[in-house]
Amino acid sequence: MTQKLSKFLSLILRHQPEQIGLSLNSAGWADVEQLINLANQQGIKINRCLLEDIVKTNDKQRFSFNEDKSKIRANQGHSLSIDLGLSPQEPPEFLFHGTATRFLDSILAKGLIGMKRQYVHLSIDESTALKVGKRHGKPVILLIKAGDLYRAGFTFFLVENGVWLTESVPPNFISIR
């Protein structure tokens, strides 16, 4: 049940708030009471207690509340134009990206681009990248020369849950692990 609700929240808070008539502000925040009411009107049984449990226990820390828990948002992965209010950060020298082997030719030719999302998601460790790659098929881990990319003028952001974001990664900054 919690996993199903977590997927529902991902859909609504990252991609399609209009599906239930929810409004997000420019920073991606939604009113918690409005979310609960609109979800329940659509037959999605959720309450504040369940919502708090999902935010607290989500293994990828995909969601967060504001200080008084009156608003909720997805931490990253939006296909909507959202300003998360993140400050640029200098990344470590190397980061990782997990994908499926079927995407490899395109990535090595064109680089990594956000596709339907605002940003490319990168991880600090190979194990996280491997988990991500497995979700899409036969996994492959890409080593991203993040330090070189940063020095070349690319901007990086670090999200609360440890995910690194950047708009794109050209092919010459990517190698297969």
What digits encode the pLDDT tens for the residues 131-151? 999 988 999 999 999 999 999
In the chain the domains, ranked by start, together with CATH numbers, are 2-74 (1.10.10.970), 95-176 (3.20.170.30)
Cβ 115 vs Cβ 99: under 8 Å? no
The Cα 124–Cα 176 span in angstroms is 16
DSSP 8-state code for residue 88 = B
- Structure tokens given for 24: 């997000």
Q: Taking the model in full, what pTM does it have?
A: 0.72
Q: How far apart are CA 89 and CA 56, in angstroms?
A: 26
Q: Which residues contact 34 (CB under 8 A, 6 or more apart)?
A: 22, 23
pLDDT band at 1 (very low <50, low <70, confident <90, very high): low
pLDDT 10s digits, 17-68 = 999 999 999 889 999 999 999 999 999 999 999 999 999 988 778 899 999 9
